[in-house]
A = this chain, B = another copy of it.
Amino acid sequence: MVVFNHKASNGCTKSSSPSANISKTINLDQGDPTVFEPYWRKMGDKCTMVISASDSMSYFSDAGNLCWFLESKLGDSIRNLHREIGNAKSNGRHIVVGTGSTQLYQAALYALSSSPDRTHPISVVSAAPYYSQYQEETDYLRSGLYKWAGDAYTFDKEEDGNSNYIEVVNSPSNPDGSIREAVVKRTGGKLIHDLAYYWPQYTPITRLADHDIMLFTFSKCTGHAGSRIGWALVKDTEVAKKMIKFIELNSIGVSKESQLRAAMILGTLSDNSYRNFNSNKPADNFFEYSQCLLAERWKKLREVVKRNRLFILPDYPLEYCNFTGKFTQSHPAFAWLKCKEEDVDCEKLIKAHKVMVRGGMRFGAEKKYVRVSMLSSEGVFNLFLQRLSAIKGNFN
């Protein structure tokens, strides 16, 4: 149980866990964003949703919209939020809602590859280290439309015999937090921009993104992973239509309850996301609160890493954030930790200290890397720091 009860010295309101279970293995393998829960608990009834038994029973949300299963209130909240944050162009773009951005990733693959005259699957690539789930999400059904082709840096489309390809650009990147651009850059290439982490708490907002297909998710924006709500901003009408067709065939639309709740919560965020970063007020703005919290966590992690001298963390440049009006660094949702010593299985090493993390090989990288979630509850995060501190050198 996380208790929301005190303020940190720097003005961040934060949470703590009264009693941490010191013997149990902690799970930082997934990116379950429970770090944000205390903020939403503090909101009390402000974002409470009430839904009666006869509400939203139909398959249809808005029969007149291309995306007939999108709740119009959610569409409005999404556009308002992007306008307020300045992270992506949503005006003049189709919004396609999905059961998380996972479903939308697959909808985008389908939209970019399905064609009656396709004779062999199109190659799907992403620059390594890439999100560990892309490969399995692409290949689990052995589709004849698309297939995973690995690291974009080493992709040779001529050798592959394909006339085109799909490149997934994940920026900021999961796992390493870096800002990415397309790598392959050849004629016939199609791009999916996975911008799940392009929000001010994780990275400075340096420009208004405006790509063909941009994926976002409620999970990483506010921490509401359980709602399974994602959205795509799509330029081309035919691509949007095919993505909608995919979601119709895959699940006949998307939960209305989750959409309505997301509409309310995202709506509150843009009402509430006034730029008070320079004021001395306590952090009641969600993005300010969460940026502050992640900055503190990163500071603590860097201290531990510096002390025990066994690992390396990426450095991020100081950049001007258009949203906060300040120069800030990235504070990614994951730490991409590298063992200094060669030939070390970093996942195994850290697991031996009762911390579950995800090994580098899953991301198309070496085993000396691991990805560690920075989004756990406060108690679990503190246990992680303790256990990381306890790891000693000469472990080969």
Contact = CB atoms under 8 A, between A and B. Distances in A.
A254 interface: yes
Nearest to A43: B53
Name the interface size band of chain A.
Answer: 35 or more
A41 B54 contact: yes
B228 A252 contact: yes
Contact of A102 (B144, B145, B252): B252
A53 B30 contact: no
A142 B49 CA distance: 40
Nearest to A63: B27
12 contacts: A32-B58, A36-B57, A43-B52, A57-B223, A59-B225, A140-B246, A141-B144, A142-B143, A143-B144, A227-B255, A228-B251, A228-B256
A33 interface: yes
A48 B51 contact: yes
Contacts of A345: none
Interface of A: 30, 32-34, 36-38, 40-41, 43-54, 56-61, 99-100, 102-103, 106, 110, 114, 133, 136-137, 140-145, 219, 223-229, 246, 249-258, 261, 265
Nearest to A254: B228
Contacts of A110: 140-141
Contacts of A40: 52-54, 57
Q: Which of A46, A52, A53 has the largest count of B CB atoms less than 10 A from its CB?
A: A53
B114 A251 contact: no
Contact of A257 (B52, B136, B249, B261): B261
B43 A57 contact: no
A233 to B, nearest CB: 20
B144 A142 contact: yes
Contact of A99 (B36, B57, B255): B255
